[in-house]
């Protein structure tokens, strides 16, 4: 079955208004002064305007949009009450339009009975804040070396600015969300990462425990948990955590139906230079074969291997999708073919 175009999702956005966004309380007026980068709010007025004018469709357009809803209905029923963990980070946080559409997708998912959980990083925002402070970033094997000065910036950006910004933006768009960090209610606990005895990355940590009761309690009250990729040690020490591994830990703890990585590429490709060669569905065995044959290589290998590890620990499926494609989250979950790569056991 052909994938519906993003424009066909207008009716989904409209339907979400009928489900009850408007009566969930007052939205929050926010200030962007605390955001460490020059991000402007997306102009979402065309979205809401089209949602409010659904009576302007031609009959053929209306039928096509109704068919889209019918296709989605089966998936909505299947995933109602199920948890989906969404990892947000990278350049998507710098793309205002893409970010707003992702947040709208998350709000829609919650409104139809799913339990979305948002885990975010913020590497580029951290780098900008470090540059302003005159601190040179340093990485070892892709991990940020985090001394005390760097940790202070990471805490401000991740647990403070971005975590609050994402939560308040979701409220402004009509959803309900709660920011969870050591500044509010902490849910990620861990320890210092020690991968190699001869290597000290500073205050870089790994998650060893997730307070699932808090997260599930928020989902039960129709709120979206928003969690930064930081953890707290038993002694109260804070640690910087890789956002991918933080999202994996949350998904495993919750026994999530899905873990979705929002990426800068559209998924796993047979030819990494050709987006049209995307593989929409992969079993774990097929994924390992593609790694061995060299089809999956370079930077995609650790991400796919992380996906396979997550599947082995109780997560139903893992998805890699292009976060900059408009409504890619809804298209991946609520259409038959999807738009990214789904990896399963």
289-313 pLDDT, tens digit per residue, is 999 998 998 778 888 888 898 998 9
155 has a pLDDT exceeding 70 = yes
Q: What is the mean pLDDT of residues 313-331?
A: 94
* 8-47: pLDDT as tens digits: 454 455 444 433 333 333 333 333 444 544 444 444 444 4
In a domain, 324, yes or no: yes
Alpha-helical (H) ranges within the chain are 10-19, 45-52, 59-79, 96-111, 123-132, 148-154, 163-172, 212-220, 243-254, 284-293, 300-311, 328-334
Cβ atoms of 247 and 85 closer than 8 Å: yes
- In this prediction, residue 144 has a pLDDT band, given cuts at 50, 70 and 90, of very high
- How confident is residue 55, by pLDDT bands cut at 50, 70 and 90? low
By the 8 A CB rule, do 179 and 28 touch? Answer: no
Confidence band of 241 (pLDDT split at 50, 70, 90): very high
Is it the case that residue 176 has pLDDT exceeding 60?
A: yes
Give residue 229's domain range: 6-35+44-344
Give the integer Cα–Cα distance in Å for 278 and 209.
35
The stretch 104-130 carries a mean pLDDT of 96
Q: Quick one: pLDDT band at residue 64, thresholds 50, 70, 90?
A: confident
Higher pLDDT, 11 or 171: 171
Q: Which residue has the higher pLDDT, 82 or 195?
A: 82
Distance separating alpha carbons of residues 13 and 277, to the nearest angstrom:
30
Distances (CA, A) of 55 to 47, 64, 65, 77, 109: 15, 14, 12, 26, 24
Indicate whether 25 belongs to any domain.
yes
Predicted local confidence at residue 56, as pLDDT: 63
> Tell me: the pLDDT tens digits for 121-132?
999 999 999 999
Alpha carbon distance 238, 157 (integer Å):
14
Residue 279 φ then ψ, to 5°: -100, 115
For a pLDDT cut of 90, what percent of the chain falls above it?
66
Q: What is the model's pTM? A: 0.83
CB atoms within 10 A of CB 168: 19
The whole-angstrom distance between residue 32's C-alpha and the CA centroid of its chain comes to: 21
Instruction: Tell me the CA distances in angstroms from 273 to 67, 260, 269, one per residue in order.
Output: 34, 22, 8
State the pLDDT at residue 273.
87
Which tens digits make up the pLDDT trace of 211-231? 999 999 999 999 999 999 999
Instruction: Decide if 26 is inside a domain.
Output: yes
The reply to whether 169 falls in a domain is: yes
Binding residues for substrate, by number, are: 122-123, 144, 240
Angstrom distance (rounded) from CA 137 to CA 139: 7
What is the pLDDT at residue 321?
95
Residue 124 lies in a domain: yes
Binding-site annotation, residues: 122-123, 144, 240
Q: Residues 241-248: what's their mean pLDDT?
A: 94
Number of domains in the chain: 1
191: CATH: 3.40.1160.10
Return the axis-axis angle of helices 10-19 and 96-111, rounded to nearest 10°.
50
Tokens of 207: 């998650």
In a domain, 1, yes or no: no
Residue spans of beta strands (DSSP E) within 194-280: 205-210, 224-228, 230-232, 238-240, 258-263
Alpha-carbon distance of 63 to 67, in angstroms, equals: 6
| Residue 1: Cβ within 10 Å count | 7
């Amino acid at each position: 079955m052909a994938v519906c175009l993003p424009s066909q999702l207008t009716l989904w956005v409209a339907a979400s208004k009928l489900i009850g966004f408007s009566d969930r309380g007052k939205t929050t007026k926010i200030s962007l002064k605390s955001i460490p980068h020059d991000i402007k709010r997306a102009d979402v007025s065309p979205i809401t305007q089209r949602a409010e004018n659904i009576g302007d469709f031609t009959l053929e357009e209306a039928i096509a949009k109704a068919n889209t809803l019918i296709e989605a209905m089966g998936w909505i029923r299947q995933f109602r009450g199920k948890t989906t963990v969404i990892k947000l980070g990278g350049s998507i946080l710098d793309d205002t339009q893409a970010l707003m559409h992702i947040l709208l997708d998350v709000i829609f998912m919650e409104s139809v009975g799913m339990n979305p959980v948002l885990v975010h990083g913020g590497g580029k925002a951290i780098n900008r804040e470090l540059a302003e402070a005159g601190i040179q970033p340093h990485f070892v094997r892709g991990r940020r070396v985090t001394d005390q000065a760097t940790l202070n910036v990471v805490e401000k950006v991740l647990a403070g600015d971005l975590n609050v910004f994402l939560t308040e933006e979701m409220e402004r768009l009509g959803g309900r969300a709660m920011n969870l960090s050591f500044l509010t209610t902490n849910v990620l606990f861990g320890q210092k990462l020690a991968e190699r005895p001869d290597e000290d990355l500073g205050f870089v940590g790994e998650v060893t425990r997730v307070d699932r009761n808090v997260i599930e309690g928020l989902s039960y009250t129709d709120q979206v948990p928003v969690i930064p990729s930081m953890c707290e040690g038993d002694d109260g020490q804070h640690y910087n955590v890789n956002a991918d591994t933080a999202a994996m830990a949350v998904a495993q703890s919750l026994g999530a139906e899905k873990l979705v990585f929002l990426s800068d590429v559209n998924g796993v490709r047979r030819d990494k230079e050709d987006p049209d060669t995307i593989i929409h569905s992969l079993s774990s065995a097929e994924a390992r074969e593609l790694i061995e044959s060299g089809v999956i290589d370079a930077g995609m290998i650790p991400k796919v291997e992380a996906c396979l590890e997550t599947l082995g620990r109780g997560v139903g499926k893992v998805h890699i999708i292009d976060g900059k494609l408009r409504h890619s989250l809804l298209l991946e979950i609520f259409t038959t073919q999807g738009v990214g790569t789904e990896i399963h056991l």
